[in-house]
Amino acid sequence: MLAPTSARGHSRACTYANESLPSAAARELAEETGVTVDPTDLRLLGTGYLEFDDGHSLVSINYAVPRAATEGQVSAGGDAADARFFTREAIESEEPRLRASGPEQVLTAIDEYGAS
């Protein structure tokens, strides 16, 4: 799994007017990790929702793509403080990183596409 992390602990993304969700996901992936993908190669994994103690909330729309369908080198960009690949073991032990969606969606993608 490739994940950008901001200083806030999660990435903040948006969808522009007339932009499809896969196109927004591909754009955000490129902006925050340097990795590019054709939006039509993305597969919807699922969604998640999280409420914070301060009254804010997070909606997560999660996509997966095989690494072979991507281009570019991983580097943090945009509002990302870090961008790196995570192993199955790290996802299972660092579950709070995926608390809006839970790790199940990502682990399913790893099972389907492989770890790299």
For the chain, the structural domain boundaries read 2-113
The residue-averaged pLDDT of 76-92 equals 80
- Closest by CA to 33, choosing from 77, 72, 66, is 77
pLDDT-derived band at 109 (thresholds 50, 70, 90) equals confident
DSSP 10: S
pLDDT-derived band at 24 (thresholds 50, 70, 90) equals very high
Residue 7: predicted pLDDT: 45
Stated pTM of the model:
0.80
Residue 108: predicted pLDDT: 86
pLDDT-derived band at 4 (thresholds 50, 70, 90) equals low
Is the domain spanning 2-113 CATH 3.90.79? The answer is: yes
Sign of the Cα torsion 32, 66, 85, 101 reads positive
